[in-house]
Amino acid sequence: MSGSERVAGTVAIIGAGTMGRRIAYGCAVRGVRARLHDISEEALAGAIEDVRALLEAADGADGGDGHGAGATHGLVEACRDLEDCVREADWVIETVHEDLELKRVVLGRIGAAAPGKAFIASNTSSLPGSWMAESTGRPGRFTNMNFGPPEDIKVEVMGHPGTDPATTDAAKRFLRGLGLVPIVARREIQGYPTNRIWRAIKKESLHLIAGGYLSAEEIDRAWMLDWGTPVGPCGLMDVVGLDVVRDIENVYYKASGDPSDKPPGFLDRMVERGELGVKSGKGFYTYPSPAFEREGWLTASDD
């Protein structure tokens, strides 16, 4: 790969949760070195195992003999020390919990340790970059990039008023090199422009469940019938993680003070019970074989 398609040589990912793993996989499967860091050694070990399993599956789907996955395995590296993780990075992507003060602290450490050439991005789902940029010590080289699950090739890129145009251009080249499609926001808005469309669907779905208007299954069944998708809003929230969904809704609520933005009590109770979705095996559905994947479920009744 060369010229305008050249991908960054090393990507450091800070936070080895669902999105950290997804980004590491997306890099390694395209031949890009990914270094992962997390304060939890258990999470870090689990992330490396999950990413390598995804690489094995990708190699098998391509009809490979395993050698391709073996080669890409070496591109995924666990780092127990944040400063060591970012020291040689071309891009550093922060994926820690959706907590503004935590992100500012982590971004400060990244900015202090990463080389001057490095660009820094936050994978935040709801926090504007302007709330965090100064923490990096290099606000012009900082932007937001919101990744989706492995099968989603769209990545929303949103700079803040101080983001250098060169940083946005570099982000687009980086994402294109990973086989992804950058959707670039023209102006900063809390939550990203297209992500706010998903947020409206998610918020209304939660409202309908909380009010007893429809069950999660009926919401998804109706959505899938209307739009021909393989999963509905509640199934998608399970993929994101119901704890993440709850945290994102709380960010909006704290910013607006509007009671309608506050996540419903039933969602808090699900999170407290450990019903987080796919990653815990139970959320709106039970995994690894959710009801909406069963033959005949789409036309069945929820009576």
Tens digit of pLDDT for each residue in 226-285? 999 999 999 999 999 999 999 999 999 999 999 999 999 999 999 999 999 999 999 999
Task: State pLDDT tens for residues 201-233.
Answer: 999 999 999 999 999 999 999 999 999 999 999
pLDDT at res. 302: 60
Q: Each residue of 99-115: pLDDT tens digit?
A: 999 999 999 999 999 99
Cα gap 138→116, rounded to integer Å: 9
What is the Cα–Cα distance from 5 to 149, expressed in whole angstroms? 23
Q: Is 129 in contact with 163 (CB distance < 8 Å)? A: yes
Among 49-63, 127-141, 168-182, 231-245, the range scoring the smallest mean pLDDT is 49-63
Domains of the chain: 3-184 (3.40.50.720), 195-289 (1.10.1040.10)
pTM: 0.86
SS3 content of the chain, % helix, strand, coil (to 5): 50, 15, 35
Do the strands 181-184 and 142-146 form a parallel or antiparallel pair, or are they unpaired? unpaired
Distance CA 249, CA 196 (A): 11
- Asked whether the beta carbons of 143 and 188 are under 8 A apart, the reply is no
Kindly report, residue by residue over 146-181, the tens digit of the pLDDT.
998 888 999 999 999 999 999 999 999 999 999 999
Alpha carbon distance 138, 121 (integer Å): 11
Q: With 70 as the cut, is the pLDDT of residue 1 above it?
A: no
Q: Quote the CA–CA distance of 124 and 145 in Å, as a whole number.
A: 7
pLDDT at 4: 40
- pLDDT-based confidence at 58, cuts 50/70/90? confident
Residue 181 DSSP class: E
DSSP string of 32-64, one letter each residue: -EEEEE-S-HHHHHHHHHHHHHHHHHHHHHTT-
Spatial distance between the Cα atoms of 141 and 170, rounded to a whole number of angstroms: 10
Could you tell me which of 303, 237, 298 has the C-alpha nearest to residue 266?
A: 237
For the cut 70, the answer to whether the pLDDT of residue 303 exceeds it is no
Q: Cα separations (Å) of 40 from 66, 100, 191? A: 30, 20, 27
